[in-house]
Amino acid sequence: MTRREALRSMAAAAAVTAASQLAPGVAFAAGTPKTLSAEGLTWKKTPCRFCGTGCGLLIGIKDNRAVAVKGDPASAVNKGLCCVKGYHSVIALYGKDRLTRAYVRNNGQLIPVPIGEALDLVASKLKETIDKHGKNAAGIYGSGQWTIPDGYVASKLFKGAIGTNNVEANARLCMASAVTGFMTTFGLDEPMGCYEDIDHADVFVLWGNNMAEMHPVLFSRMLDRRLRNAHVKIVDLATRWTRTSMAADRSILFQPNADLALANAIAYEMIRNQWIHRTFLDRHVSFHEGKTNIGYGTQDKFQFTDENRNITFNEYVKRLEEYTPDKVEKISGVPARDIRYLASLYGDPGKKVVSYWCMGMNQHVRGTWIQNLVYNLHLLTGKISQPGNGPFSLTGQPSACGTVREAGTLTHRLPHGDVTNEADRKMAARIWGVPVENIQPKPGLHTVEMFRALDRGDLRFLWIQVTNPMVTMPKLKRYREGARKEGRFVVVSDVYPTPTTDIADVILPSAMWIEREGMFGNSERRTQHWEQMLKPPGDAMSDTWQLIEVARRMGLGKHFNWTYENHIPEIWKEYTSFHHDPKHEMATYQALRENPGVMWPCPGGRETKWRYNARYDPAAKSVNGDPIDFYGKPDRRAWIWFRPWEPAAEEPDAEFPFWLNTGRVVEHWHTGSMTRRIPILHKAVPNAYVELHPMDARKLGIRNGDRVRLTSRRGALTLPAQIDGRGRPQEGHVFVPFFDEAILINELTLDAFCPISKQPDYKKCAVQVERA
């Protein structure tokens, strides 16, 4: 089969899959089109490498080359479906400028060197930094695209063997607020439900979540549910009109940060109408409040610790009186009747409701609060932990859950529990074979503070793997200039040159996705394994193996005493020994090899689809026939937090009169370093642009395609205008996608973050807009 024939097969396979989704039961002659004959191909399973949905793919391999992709019909996630990124994913392996050699900076120039030499240098610089400046002058910054073994080994090396908690991941920028939301309300991280909720729900409320572009496969499943069940409704709550709004039954636009007020108003209205589940509240919920006016973290070394005050139901209701629909209409711009409509959906005992969100609620200066407030709506009505009822935080990256949240690669986390907890440190020390004193009891630097420390000179050595912070950090200029300062040593492991490799002292070429063995964990607690299918090009090496090679060169090899052949199963065995517990039991290596994915907890090999419900979750205890048991908190209750509305860190004013919102497009994965090397995706959206409302465009004399200058207090940028393209911001707002390294929108954004989660808010800052 020639490559051309293989691509014809791939295109045909994509069409067959799309047809069977649009017209279930559709049949073609001899089962599939003739063009699909795939002679000589070996098909192997893997999760998709893009996005937290975690679609199962089948990759057609021939002669050490990936030549075809199809959705895996056996995968419970996507049931054979795929989006445009999934179908074209293997093409990202073969970009012409793929990094296949290591580089070392010499007199300002990056010079190719054998990878062994580069690894020697990384190990010696890391040792030298620790000797001269102390352990906490070194750190590693990874990713929700790290495989679980990558993240586990990074954490073991830095937190256990070296003894610094400076381990962070870009998931801090993408889902840290979801973690703190879950922890503060339920005491345990990650959603209680699963994607199967889509097959049972009557109402879907999307909170600032453009699923049509960001989670297109789940969105298709939702549309399919509605197509077959006319009563099903989709409500899109957003600050910008998108493809999701177009497909929704109702699109409701609100002003930035006003989602806090909106959620409280829905709660107020439900209580006023007695649309709440009193028995559920009495048995399973307690009421709390924390600090207010909590700041925005824009200054270096910002510290914040929340406090918990127990309150009564009546005190909670009293505090909600500030949030009547009429008052909130003024804050949010949402008509009071729409707020009442939302309350009637959540409050109708006959309707099953799922709330979905992703970056809109996570990248938020009150990210933890808004998660608490949406949980409140499900807790007030008891619509949680059952098929078709529940709040569900979607993740952006393929293993933000698996690697960052579960394996514990944020600074305060361990593979089980937190560094601040003595029992958790002891467990880690025992499993890792290190003295417990090695594991520091205080968290190290969170992401924004890590780059601030690099700028200040408190951090001297930073190893960056699978992520591109020189495109994604907010207030980018400061952090780029900081990373370039004298006396900093930056190592970057990646598959293509990026603005981040531009600042590197050493570049290590990484094996990508199916060129090595690995596991990812998706949004619904599903762990998925793939085997190594291809030989990596040139000197490229997996990030896991790079870390092990450096550990060995530092004399720490005894902690990583595995062979190349067995290291992944051995790492999995060691990692899962942290989780022999019915609340978190992970699948065995064998089960992962044999299945398209397994959801944890899976004690005895049985997956748990709905946590905290004894009908589905063996860790939950039923009391007098009531199956709900929120066992994550010591009082075995979920916590309803009263959280007020507070404004964003920066709001439009006379000088900077527009809101700037940033985000993604379906064709591109994050900073575009891979998808911009897939010609069809690059051609579809070749550059970033600024979306404007047509009225604003008219007032400013801007037409489609005109050059527009955006200026914030931090920087300026010129880019083409898009008016009524795929999205339409509200009047007084603009939107810019961040995938384009030639148009770095993060030069303008603000590094304000949620004081609890430390996740920056990329959705709200103030800019000037003018025709360039």
Partner 1 sequence: MPIKSYLAYPKEGWGELLAEKLAALPGCSVEPAENRELLILITDTPEEASDQALEQRLLAIPELDGLALVAAYAEEEIG
Interacting residues toward partner 1 by CB under 8 A: 3-4, 7-8, 10-12, 14-16, 18-19, 22-23, 25-29, 33-35, 84, 87-88, 91, 678-680, 683
The token duo for 590 is 């064998």
Q: How far apart are CA 315 and CA 75, in angstroms?
A: 47
51 binds, among partner 1, ligand SF4, none (CB under 5 to 8 A by kind): ligand SF4
The token duo for 752 is 């304000």
22 binds, among partner 1, ligand SF4, none (CB under 5 to 8 A by kind): partner 1
The token duo for 90 is 């293997």
For ligand SF4, give the closer residue by CB, 55 or 507: 55
For ligand SF4, give the closer residue by CB, 56 or 415: 56
Tell me if residue 359 is catalytic: yes
Q: How far apart are CA 217 and CA 79, in angstroms?
A: 10
DSSP state letter for 518:
E
Give CA separation, 536 vs 120, 234, 761, in Å.
21, 44, 37
Q: Does 254 bind ligand SF4 (CB under 6 A)?
A: no
The least CB distance from residue 715 to ligand SF4, in Å, is: 30
For partner 1, give the closer residue by CB, 231 or 683: 683
Tell me if residue 40 is catalytic: no
The token duo for 369 is 């609060």
59 binds, among ligand SF4, partner 1, none (CB under 5 to 8 A by kind): none
Q: Distance from first CA to last CA of the chain, Å, rounded?
A: 52
Which one of the listed residues 21, 363, 397, 722 is annotated catalytic?
397
Provide the residue count of the chain.
Answer: 772
Nearest CA among 228, 227, 238 for reference residue 205: 238
Question: Among residue numbers 63 through 122, which ones bind ligand SF4 (CB under 6 A)?
Answer: 78, 82-83, 85-86
For partner 1, give the closer residue by CB, 3 or 558: 3
User: Amino acid letter at 122?
Assistant: V
Contact stretch for ligand SF4 (CB under 6 A) within 52-60, 139-147, 365-373, 641-649? 52-60
For ligand SF4, give the closer residue by CB, 190 or 259: 190
623 binds, among ligand SF4, partner 1, none (CB under 5 to 8 A by kind): none
Positive or negative, the Cα torsion across 665, 666, 672, 677? negative
Contact call for residues 631 and 621 (beta carbons, < 8 A): yes
- Return phi, psi of residue 328, to 5°: -75, -25
User: Amino acid letter at 481?
Assistant: E
List 16, 38, 55, 266, residue binding ligand SF4 (CB under 6 A): 55
Q: Scanning the structure block, which residue is given the tokens 């497009």?
A: 665
Q: Does 48 bind ligand SF4 (CB under 6 A)?
A: yes
The least CB distance from residue 540 to partner 1, in Å, is: 21
For ligand SF4, give the closer residue by CB, 212 or 311: 212
Positive or negative, the Cα torsion across 115, 121, 124, 129? negative
Nearest CA among 574, 568, 578, 567 for reference residue 601: 578
Q: How far apart are CA 366 and CA 237, in angstroms?
A: 17
**In sequence order, what E strands does 531-637 have?**
598-599
The least CB distance from residue 216 to ligand SF4, in Å, is: 5
The least CB distance from residue 214 to ligand SF4, in Å, is: 8
Q: Does 53 bind ligand SF4 (CB under 6 A)?
A: yes
Positive or negative, the Cα torsion across 630, 631, 632, 635? positive
User: HSE-up of 537 (CA within 13 Å, CB side)?
Assistant: 17
Q: How far apart are CA 1 and CA 723, in angstroms?
A: 45
Question: Among residue numbers 429 through 458, which ones bind ligand SF4 (CB under 6 A)?
Answer: none
Q: Does 50 bind ligand SF4 (CB under 6 A)?
A: yes
The token duo for 368 is 């933890």
Which one of the listed residues 54, 80, 388, 396 is annotated catalytic?
396
The token duo for 66 is 């990936």
For ligand SF4, give the closer residue by CB, 218 or 551: 218
29 binds, among ligand SF4, partner 1, none (CB under 5 to 8 A by kind): partner 1
Report how many residues bind ligand SF4 under the rule CB under 6 A.
Answer: 13
- The three-state secondary structure class of 44 is strand
Tell me if residue 533 is catalytic: no
The least CB distance from residue 228 to partner 1, in Å, is: 16
For partner 1, give the closer residue by CB, 36 or 122: 36
The least CB distance from residue 516 to ligand SF4, in Å, is: 19
Tell me if residue 174 is catalytic: yes
33 binds, among ligand SF4, partner 1, none (CB under 5 to 8 A by kind): partner 1
For ligand SF4, give the closer residue by CB, 78 or 184: 78
The token duo for 10 is 């791939």
Q: How far apart are CA 35 and CA 81, in angstroms?
A: 19
Nearest CA among 215, 314, 301 for reference residue 271: 314
83 binds, among partner 1, ligand SF4, none (CB under 5 to 8 A by kind): ligand SF4
The least CB distance from residue 528 to ligand SF4, in Å, is: 10
Nearest CA among 683, 660, 685 for reference residue 739: 685
- Return phi, psi of residue 212, to 5°: -60, -30
Question: Among residue numbers 203 through 242, which ones bind ligand SF4 (CB under 6 A)?
Answer: 216-217
50 binds, among partner 1, ligand SF4, none (CB under 5 to 8 A by kind): ligand SF4
Query: At how many degrees (to 10) do helices 567-576 and 543-553 cross?
Result: 90
Contact call for residues 359 and 762 (beta carbons, < 8 A): yes
Q: How far apart are CA 490 and CA 463, in angstroms?
A: 6
For ligand SF4, give the closer residue by CB, 82 or 598: 82
Which one of the listed residues 79, 85, 352, 475 is annotated catalytic?
85
| Pairing mode of beta strands 598-599, 728-729 | unpaired
For partner 1, give the closer residue by CB, 27 or 246: 27
Nearest CA among 243, 177, 250 for reference residue 210: 243
Contact stretch for ligand SF4 (CB under 6 A) within 45-53, 411-419, 553-561, 680-688? 45-53
The least CB distance from residue 121 to partner 1, in Å, is: 35
Contact stretch for ligand SF4 (CB under 6 A) within 29-37, 51-59, 339-347, 529-537? 51-59
The least CB distance from residue 92 to partner 1, in Å, is: 11
List 12, 38, 41, 51, residue binding ligand SF4 (CB under 6 A): 51
Nearest CA among 542, 561, 557, 572 for reference residue 465: 542
The least CB distance from residue 408 to partner 1, in Å, is: 39
Contact call for residues 268 and 325 (beta carbons, < 8 A): yes
Which one of the listed residues 48, 83, 174, 674 is annotated catalytic?
174
Which one of the listed residues 183, 222, 358, 359 is annotated catalytic?
359
For partner 1, give the closer residue by CB, 18 or 716: 18
Residue-wise burial string across 480-511, b where 16 or more C-beta atoms lie within 10 A, e elsewhere:
bebbeeeebbbbbbbbbbbbbbebbbbbbbbb
- Neighbour tally for 646: CB within 10 Å: 17
- List CB contacts of 593: < 8 A, sequence separation 6 or more: 529, 531
The least CB distance from residue 54 to ligand SF4, in Å, is: 6
Tell me if residue 663 is catalytic: no
For ligand SF4, give the closer residue by CB, 221 or 567: 221
The least CB distance from residue 398 to ligand SF4, in Å, is: 7
Which one of the listed residues 175, 270, 427, 586 is annotated catalytic?
175
216 binds, among partner 1, ligand SF4, none (CB under 5 to 8 A by kind): ligand SF4
Q: Does 520 bind ligand SF4 (CB under 6 A)?
A: no
DSSP state letter for 66:
E
The least CB distance from residue 389 to ligand SF4, in Å, is: 24
- List CB contacts of 717: < 8 A, sequence separation 6 or more: 709, 710, 711, 743, 744, 745, 747, 748
Residues with catalytic function: 85, 174-175, 359, 396-397
> Which residues form the interface with ligand SF4 (CB under 6 A)?
48, 50-51, 53-55, 78, 82-83, 85-86, 216-217
